[in-house]
Amino acid sequence: MSMDSSKLPVLLFSASLFFTAAYSIGINYGQIANNLPHPEAVVPLVKSIGATRLKLYDADPHVLKAFANTGVEFIVGLGNEYLATMRDPKQAQAWVKTNVQCYLPATKITCIAVGNEVLTFNDSTLSSNLLPAMENIHAALVSLNLDKQVMVTTAHNLGILEVSYPPSAGAFRRDLTQKLSCILDFHCKVGSPFLVNAYPFFAYRANPKQIPLDFVLFEGSGIVDTGSGLHYDNMFHAQIDAVHSAMEKLGYKNVCLQISETGWPSKGDADEAGATPDNARKYNGNLLKLIAEKKGTPMRPNLNLNIYVFALFNENQKPGPTSERNFGLFKPDGTPVYNLGFNVTGLGSTNSPSSGGSSGGTMPSVSSPPNGYLSITADDAERLPLRGPLSVFCLMVSAILALQL
């Protein structure tokens, strides 16, 4: 059931309320809800906040038609349930024709995400279907002369990492190394990005007593990676560079890594530490400042992370803990869940606290081993096998080594 679009307020935000159009923002447009506005009513909302890129988890025809001739770029999704079918080249071509080609060029579809977080389901059949599906979708694009304008990729969560702290020691899970090498080789051949969903929130929620909140909210003085000597003033960059290190260890230093999801919930259950409107405002506000400054990571300072914030709306039918239904920047009626508070002079004078960068401080001591920064959901943790001394609990913990700056 969709909300009557005529009843949705068209909220034309000024730069003082949200953020300027001086830079573009990507947003995940999830729709696991029964109270969301019609896509046609979403168009002015998306445009008013300066969003130029949207990521879908399907290829919803209502959305793709509504955004025709708007200039908004789309990543469309091909669900995990279709991977086996896509092993058939004819089925892959039929899917591309039906879900991509017919909307071009009016709707600017630039990427197809084949599956979502497939490898951490630890389902061997599903995992074995991923790369063939990606290859066949790409081959279909080639046959239709669309491969120069539409890329093929897939998104992973940080459960693919076995070692993630310090960032310079990042390494993929040994049981996934072969599959990830083949996927990275595919990215090399076709020139598409390696997508990662990175959530400092999950790391903090798992161990709030040991992880400084300011570090995950981009407000800490930071840490130094003893392996590389690089300074990290936030967990987000540390998570990303752990993946960079893992990729480099497999010989894929030049594959572009981009962030397909990150965000912070405004509400959670009693045991979900940090899930508040104020923390969500700080995280996403500081994240948007980071995007506006066009900063890469300490390991890749010139990299465009092409970040997609999760998510556009709260989704009232998502399963799992309360936080899962409260990652939205907006309520279903189009009103903001919280005010990000930017003024007309841009992100530099936002009311949100600074994203750090100061020196001369120390991080609180932690007693857990530095298996850190691994950001995975509880469901993903349940699917992860125990390996050596690392239990699922250890995988959930993101420990920060206390170092004098």
DSSP 251-297: T-TTSPEEEEEB---S---TT-TT-SHHHHHHHHHHHHHHHHTT---
DSSP 41-100: HHHHHHHHTTEEEEE-SS--HHHHHHTTTS--EEEEEE-GGGTTGGGSHHHHHHHHHHHT
Catalytic residue among 117, 135, 315, 324: 117
Tell me whether strands 161-163 and 223-224 are parallel, antiparallel or unpaired. Answer: unpaired
Task: For the beta carbon of residue 189, count every other beta carbon within 10 angstroms.
Answer: 10
| Residue 261 a catalytic site member | yes
Task: For the beta carbon of residue 4, count every other beta carbon within 10 angstroms.
Answer: 9
| Residue 117 a catalytic site member | yes
Catalytic residue among 73, 162, 219, 261: 261
Q: Which phi and psi angles does 323 have, rounded to 5°?
A: -55, -35
Q: How many CA atoms are closer than 13 Å to the CA of 383, on its beta-carbon side? A: 16
Buried b (16+ CB within 10 A) or exposed e, 307-346: bbbbbbbbbeebeebebbbbbbbbebebebbbebebeeee
Place of tokens 């509400």: 267
> Hey, which residues are catalytic here?
117, 261
